[in-house]
Amino acid sequence: MIYCIAVTSSMVLNLDEYTCEFCGGPCKNVVYAAFVCDNPECIEQARLARGGPGGHMKRKAEGKPIIPQDLESAIEDNKKV
């Protein structure tokens, strides 16, 4: 089965509008669900903050929720919009 996703100009993420979540520099990438610059230290901090490439599955195996509890309130707020 092949899925085709249509991307419109309104769906494009303009990284110039964001800053690195760890150093505040200009955002160049989205890595481990974080806006980061090209600095390897910031990329490593994003990896650690996420829990590694399989961090969500590690939390699930430990019996914890996949979504960290500190993000649950933000998700609920976004659902209300």
- Which structural domain, as residue segments, surrounds residue 20? 9-66
User: Is 77 part of any domain?
Assistant: no
The HSE-up count of residue 30 (CA atoms within 13 Å, CB side) is 8
For residue 15, how many other CB atoms are within 10 A of its CB?
Answer: 15
Number of domains in the chain: 1
Listed in order, strand segments (DSSP E) in 14-81 are 29-31, 34-36
3-state secondary structure of 19: strand
Stretch 36-51: mean pLDDT: 90
What pLDDT was estimated at residue 73? 66
Give the 3-state secondary structure of residue 55. Answer: helix
Task: Name the DSSP letter for residue 80.
Answer: H
Which helix H or strand E contains 74, and what residues bound it? Answer: helix 69-80
pLDDT tens-place string over residues 24-40: 999 999 988 889 999 99
Is 78 inside any structural domain? no
Q: What are the pLDDT digits (tens) for 3-30?
A: 555 555 566 888 989 999 999 999 999 9
